[in-house]
Amino acid sequence: MPSFAASCVGVACGTGWPGCARAWVSRRRPPRIRASSGDNDMYYYWNTGSWDDFADSFNLVWLFSESIQGAADFHELMRTARHIRPGNVDDWYSGFGRIGDHVKRLADQAAAGGHDTTASECYLRAFSYYRAAELRLPGKDARKLPMYYRAIACWQAGITRSPQPHEDVKIAFDGIELAGHFFAPRARIFRDPPPCIVFLSGADALPEENFFRGVQYITARGVACLVFNGPGQGSTIRLLNRPTIPDYERPVSAAVDYLMTRRDIDHDRIGLLGVSMAGYYAPRAACFEHRFKACVAWGGLYNILEDLYLYYPPIRKQLQWIGGCQSDEEARAYYAKFTLQGLLPRIRCPVLITHGIWDTKVPLSSAQRTFDELAVKDKELRLYDDVEGGAEHCNIENWVQVIPYQVDWLIDRLR
């Protein structure tokens, strides 16, 4: 399979095969919905040829990737998946709810016996399973909020028993408070006070999930990390009914304002990392918030309407919900406002964009356009292919390489 050469200025691909990024930007492989097996079979655990099958298989692989950082166990996932019929939301909900209940019982038993480490590990896995259960439910489904509460209760029980220093925080924004978490460094590497990375989630994701998507890599390297429920996400959409907004620099700047009140981080060494839909949020914020010293878009997203809503059909209902939209027509009009067009030259800090060349959710052209319109000299578009691994959305099949690369890149610019 063709790859992209590091000889393209600012563009790198780990395999280093001859080629040119621009030559492939406009070429999109057809959606990988097929009846026969072949490359990347992990995305076809369910394979009747529907988009729903791909979405469910993708979500399963996402949990596989998070399992490296303690979110799940491979065998628990496989035992759950084998009882889920293709495209069956009720099977998905009940299956992950059931494994969540089982692992929570193990956690409760361990806690009662004074085994806090075991209890922490089990509670955190139960959190992930309950979150997975509610993930597939429509926003207004009556089962969604109770399952969310179960997930958060397990998160709190797990993180308070973990070795990771953790603090629940509140960020004042637009007349409300955005709930978040501050994670102190687990290792003393930098001079005091240490740098801090603001880590943004995507779509309706929970900021707690970022603990399994890079927070532990960050704190192990001597850097603090802040995550929070932005508009359209986590508790902000579920409990406060505040939808996502195009001008995401506003809540992000509020988060930086909060960090300025802390004495345990270096106010002059703050980085920004955004994953998935936050591949739009993070660059957008960096266009206006110049207190960031570096920015990573973990999946470049230039235009949410064209490059996500229209490009990836399974996400449309979810985006309608988090955008407060009542119809497809309303969502299309609303998400047309979510674009980086004309803004990227405002960014002053170094920028890294990581992207999979066969990303099924966001086309490579979206990352390329974001990269091309950046005016800063220190910019990089790091591409991952099938040979190296990480060709899919947010490089989910190669986090063991991608996450350290991104975190180290940020840290190099926060020294």
pLDDT tens-place string over residues 146-195: 999 999 999 999 999 999 999 999 999 999 999 999 999 998 888 889 99
Set out the domains of the chain in order of their start, with CATH numbers: 39-163 (1.20.1440.110), 164-415 (3.40.50.1820)
pLDDT digits (tens, 9 = 90+) for 383-395: 999 999 999 999 9
Asked if residue 338 has pLDDT above 80, the reply is yes
pLDDT digits (tens, 9 = 90+) for 247-298: 999 999 999 999 999 999 999 999 999 999 999 999 999 999 999 999 999 9
**Strand residue runs (E) in 62-203:** 166-173, 176-183, 196-200
Asked if residue 1 has pLDDT above 60, the reply is no
Degrees, nearest 5: CA angle 277-13-404: 60
Query: Which comes out higher in pLDDT, residue 49 or 176?
Result: 176
pLDDT value for 42: 61
pLDDT digits (tens, 9 = 90+) for 55-72: 999 999 999 999 999 999
Asked if residue 28 has pLDDT above 80, the reply is no
pLDDT value for 206: 98
- d(C-alpha 4, C-alpha 153), whole Å: 45
Residues 88-111, mean pLDDT to the nearest whole number: 98
- d(C-alpha 167, C-alpha 363), whole Å: 37
Mean pLDDT of the chain: 92
Q: Indicate the SS3 state at residue 4.
A: coil
Residues 127-134, mean pLDDT to the nearest whole number: 99
- d(C-alpha 4, C-alpha 367), whole Å: 14
pLDDT digits (tens, 9 = 90+) for 353-363: 999 999 999 99
Asked if residue 351 has pLDDT above 90, the reply is yes
Residues 230-246, mean pLDDT to the nearest whole number: 98
Q: Long-range contacts for 246-250 (Cβ within 8 Å, ≥24 apart)? A: 246/284, 246/337, 246/338, 246/339, 247/284, 248/280, 248/281, 248/284, 248/285, 249/284, 249/285, 249/287, 249/288, 249/289, 250/173, 250/174
Asked if residue 19 has pLDDT above 80, the reply is no
pLDDT value for 12: 63
Q: Which helix (H) or strand (E) holds 380?
A: strand 379-384
Q: What percent of the chain has pLDDT over 70?
A: 90
Q: Could you identify the residue written with the tokens 């989630």?
A: 201
Q: How many CB atoms lie within 10 A of CB 105?
A: 12
- CB distance 374 to 294 below 8 Å: no
Lowest mean pLDDT among 1-5, 178-182, 229-233: 1-5
- CB distance 197 to 410 below 8 Å: yes
Q: How many CB atoms lie within 10 A of CB 186?
A: 16
Residues 16-32, mean pLDDT to the nearest whole number: 37
pLDDT value for 347: 99
pLDDT value for 191: 82
pLDDT digits (tens, 9 = 90+) for 404-414: 999 999 999 99
Asked if residue 99 has pLDDT above 80, the reply is yes
pLDDT value for 23: 31
